[in-house]
Structure formats: C-alpha cells, structure tokens
C-alpha cells in the first residue's frame, strides 16, 4: 500500500478526464491519471469509426478555455477531434502525468473519506479523492430475440469502416446517431440497407438557418417553447415521419435524446434505406418483424447503445436506476464523499439543473472539475459549486468561485442525497463539511 492521501486519482484520459486534469493542474492540485489505452482520446482514439464526425458543433463541444481551430468545420472529423485533444493535452502539459496502459481494477472506500485504488500490476494506492471519467461507450448492449441468426453480427462499438458492409444485405438495429450513420453508409456501400427501430425517434437536422442546430438550443429558452418551435420547423421541413416509413415518436421532443442526422431521411426518400419496426424473431438469415414482414440479411449491426458501467467500484458504492447510475447533480455519488463521476451525459437543451448538452464532451468541462475539487479538499460550505452548464462556459483556472452556492443550486432531494450517512466518509479529506 502506498499513500497519496492528498492526491486525486483520475480514471480515464478522454474528453472528460483531460478536462478534469487541466483544472486540477491549473489550481496546483496534485493528481495521478490512469488510462488503459496506449494514448489519450478515449472513444475518439479507440472506438469511433473512421467516418465519424461530431454531432454537436465545435463551438459547443470545445473546452471553453481552448477553442477548436478556426479552420475546423462546424462538425469536425474523428481525426480532427483527436488532434484537438492532443493539442489541448500539450497546451496544459497533461501527457506527462498520464500512466498509459494502466488499468484500474478496484476502487473502494477507505477511512476518513479516502479511497483505495488497486492497479492491474498489483499496486494499491490510497487517494484523497477519485474522479471517474472512464466514459460510457465501451460496454455494448445487445438485445435478445427468439431464434438464432446465422449471418454476421456486429455491434456499432466495433464498427470501423464501410468495408464490412460492402455487397451485403445489412439490417441496422437502433434509432440513435450511430444507427443512422451506419444505415447511411450501408446505403452507399452495401447491397441493401434496412433499419429496425422499436419506437419512433425525433430526428433533427444538423443545421438550421445555416447554423448548427445545437447552437440554437439556448438554455434560457423555456423548454415548452423550444419544443413547440422545433416541432413546427421539423414538420415544415420534413413532413410526417409516416411518409418515410417511420413510426411517430411517442415521447415529447427532448424527453429522450434526439437523433441528429441530415442524410437518413434523404436515403429513406430515395428507397436506399428501408425502415422496419421492432424485430419479433430470427431464423437463420431470415428476420421477422412485429408487423409480420420477413426479409433475409447477411449482417445484423446492433446500434443499440452502451451500458454505463463501473466494474472496478466496490459493491454498494453506486446505486442504479435501471441501467443508469443514481448521481446527484449528474456527478456526485450519494452517500460518499470525494468520489465524482464525469462524462455520463445526455444531449438535451436543458435539464433539471440547467445543463446544456455537451455532445461529445458529455457536458463536462474543466470548470466542473475545478468547482468540485480545490486545493486538496472538497468545496466547503458557502463556496460556489458549478452547475454543469456553467462549467461548460467557464474557463479552466479563471476564477474558481464563478459559479453558484452549492446549498442553493441543488434540489432538496439531491442535497439530502449528498449528506453522507455515518461511517461512509462523512467528512471530506480536508476535514470540512460543505453541505449541512
């Protein structure tokens, strides 16, 4: 056991982990950062397919203290995002503190609010705080159907480029951004492209009025007004979803993540993509849908999302609501001090805490880390704690108190959740309580 009681451990060196590291370095907080891959970038380094582009704009996704280059397009490519992250790490001298090819196998609470972190090499260290930024695009979710499919099966998390689709009858299962992208690529490269969606999904264009759509989703616009205006624009621009063979969404716009894609409806109109409802069963290479239609396919691509997972955390630390972790304000683990989760985010214009969706960055920027951890201690009572959307607009290291008071920002239930029960590290490692 080695003691690093006044250090912070950061797990992951993707968009979220790098933002946290930059904030801690700016404020002189000593930390160790662990990354299982051999380079930084997270999903953009190992996970994103070759043709991937951001669905959010460079303006809304970039770290606020480090804009993306002006020559970048509105929606940078995978290669451009990687270059940007590497430039950000060099600008803040982050790479030297990252332990690459180092997997964390266990994180469990210790005494006085500290945490024991075990590494794959057998070393265990004690840290004053732990920041989990391991991402949410690495534990693929697969649906189950009656029967057995005898063709190729692929998850979007393993999809790399169009070559695997060439000359094949492809069925993409899912309704999100990856499903739309892969169905479009199959329309170009495959023999046939089909898309199965178990429910209707709101589909937004990438741009409106010459601007990225996400830049029009302003946090100060009331959600009902924003919803009404966007639905009107979609109706005028695209007509009814039924005219494309799609199901009408049953959820209100923005209650679930919308799909942002300009080409899916285009290829549906041209007949190169065929829409289906949910799958009922499979038999060899035949797939039967709930509407009774049957078609034959060579490849099933499941773009059915990922399950947030913290396999290294001790049992009982995080509670779950279905497949989603229960987190107060999107980053605090109720009942435990000095444990923070960054990068588990959804793309919505405004949520309960006023968070603006951060797309690729998951709404996590260096300001949020700065608000949670300062000078080797948790923010004490009366100091300002960042709302996620404010963190996205603040600058790393520019005024650590430029957010809002913690005991005024959270809903009563979330403030109650943040109070630790006895014996669970009720005081932060600096010895101060910051919520009462």
Token pair listed for 285: 């290479």
Q: Give all domains of the chain, ordered by start, each with its CATH number.
A: 2-138+307-418 (3.50.50.60), 152-302 (3.50.50.60)
Q: Give the confidence band of 345 by pLDDT, cuts at 50, 70, 90.
A: low
> What is the mean pLDDT of the segment spanning 304-312?
90
324: pLDDT strictly greater than 90: no
> What is the mean pLDDT of the segment spanning 111-131?
94
Strand partners, 63: 66
The winner for highest mean pLDDT among 180-194, 218-232, 309-323 is 180-194
Token pair listed for 44: 């953009």
pTM of the predicted protein model: 0.79
Region for 209 from its dihedrals, namely left if φ exceeds 0, alpha if ψ lies in -120 to 50, beta otherwise: left
Instruction: Dump pLDDT digits (tens) for 181-213.
Output: 999 999 999 999 999 999 999 999 999 999 999
321: pLDDT strictly greater than 60: yes
Instruction: Dump pLDDT digits (tens) for 376-398.
Output: 333 332 333 333 333 333 333 33
Higher pLDDT, 386 or 319: 319
Instruction: Output the CA angle 400-349-66, nearest 5 degrees.
Output: 40
> What is the mean pLDDT of the segment spanning 289-309?
95
Please report the DSSP string for 137-162 in residue order: SSSB-----BS-B-SEEEEGGG---G
359: pLDDT strictly greater than 80: no
Supply the pLDDT for residue 363: 36
Q: Rounded distance, CA 85 to CA 19, Å?
A: 10
Token pair listed for 209: 């009025």
Q: Give the confidence band of 1 by pLDDT, cuts at 50, 70, 90.
A: low
Please report the DSSP string for 156-215 in residue order: GGG---GGGGTT-EEEEE--SHHHHHHHHHHHHHSSEEEEE-SS---EE-SEETTEEGGG
Q: Give the confidence band of 264 by pLDDT, cuts at 50, 70, 90.
A: very high
Strand partners, 140: 306
> What is the mean pLDDT of the segment spanning 108-131?
94
Mean pLDDT of all residues in the chain? 82
Supply the pLDDT for residue 71: 97
Supply the pLDDT for residue 329: 83
Higher pLDDT, 294 or 348: 294
Instruction: Dump pLDDT digits (tens) for 125-156.
Output: 999 999 999 988 778 999 999 999 999 999 99
Cβ atoms of 362 and 342 within 8 Å: the answer is: yes
292: pLDDT strictly greater than 50: yes
């Amino acid at each position: 056991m080695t003691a690093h009681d006044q250090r912070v451990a950061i797990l992951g060196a993707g968009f979220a982990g790098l933002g946290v590291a930059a904030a801690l370095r700016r404020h002189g907080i000593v930390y160790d950062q662990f990354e299982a891959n051999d380079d930084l970038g997270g999903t953009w380094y190992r996970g994103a397919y070759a043709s991937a582009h951001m669905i959010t704009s460079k303006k809304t996704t970039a770290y606020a203290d480090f804009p993306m280059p002006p020559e970048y397009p509105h929606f940078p490519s995978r290669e451009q995002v990687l270059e940007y992250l590497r430039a950000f790490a060099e600008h803040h001298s982050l790479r030297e503190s990252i332990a690459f090819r180092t997997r964390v196998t266990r994180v469990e609470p210790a005494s006085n609010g500290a945490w024991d972190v075990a590494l794959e090499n057998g070393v265990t260290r004690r840290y004053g705080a732990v920041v989990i930024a391991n991402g949410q695009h690495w534990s693929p979710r697969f649906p189950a159907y009656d029967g057995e499919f005898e063709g190729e099966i692929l998850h979007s998390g393993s999809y790399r480029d169009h070559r695997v689709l060439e000359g094949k009858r492809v069925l993409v299962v899912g309704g999100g951004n990856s499903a739309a992208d892969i169905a479009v690529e199959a329309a170009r490269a495959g023999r046939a492209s089909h898309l199965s969606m178990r429910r209707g999904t709101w589909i937004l264009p990438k741009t409106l009025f010459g601007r990225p759509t996400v830049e029009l989703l302003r946090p100060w616009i009331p959600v009902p007004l924003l919803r009404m205006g966007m639905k009107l624009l979609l109706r005028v621009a695209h007509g009814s979803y039924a005219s494309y063979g799609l199901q009408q969404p049953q959820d209100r716009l923005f209650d679930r993540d919308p799909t942002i894609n300009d080409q899916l409806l285009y290829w549906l109109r041209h007949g190169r993509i065929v829409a289906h409802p949910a799958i009922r069963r499979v038999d060899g290479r035949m797939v039967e849908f709930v509407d009774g239609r049957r078609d034959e396919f060579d490849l099933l691509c499941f773009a059915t999302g990922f399950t947030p997972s913290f396999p290294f955390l001790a049992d009982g630390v995080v509670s779950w609501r279905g497949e989603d972790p229960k987190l107060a304000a999107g980053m605090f683990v109720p009942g435990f001090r000095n444990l923070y989760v960054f990068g588990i985010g959804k793309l919505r214009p405004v949520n309960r805490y006023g968070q603006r969706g951060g797309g690729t960055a998951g709404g996590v920027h260096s300001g949020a880390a700065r608000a949670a951890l300062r000078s080797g201690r948790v923010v004490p009572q009366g100091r300002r704690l960042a709302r996620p959307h404010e963190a996205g607009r603040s600058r790393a290291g520019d005024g650590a108190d430029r957010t809002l008071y913690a005991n005024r920002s959270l809903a009563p239930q979330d403030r109650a959740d943040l109070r630790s029960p006895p014996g669970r590290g009720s005081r932060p490692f600096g010895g101060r309580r910051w919520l009462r």
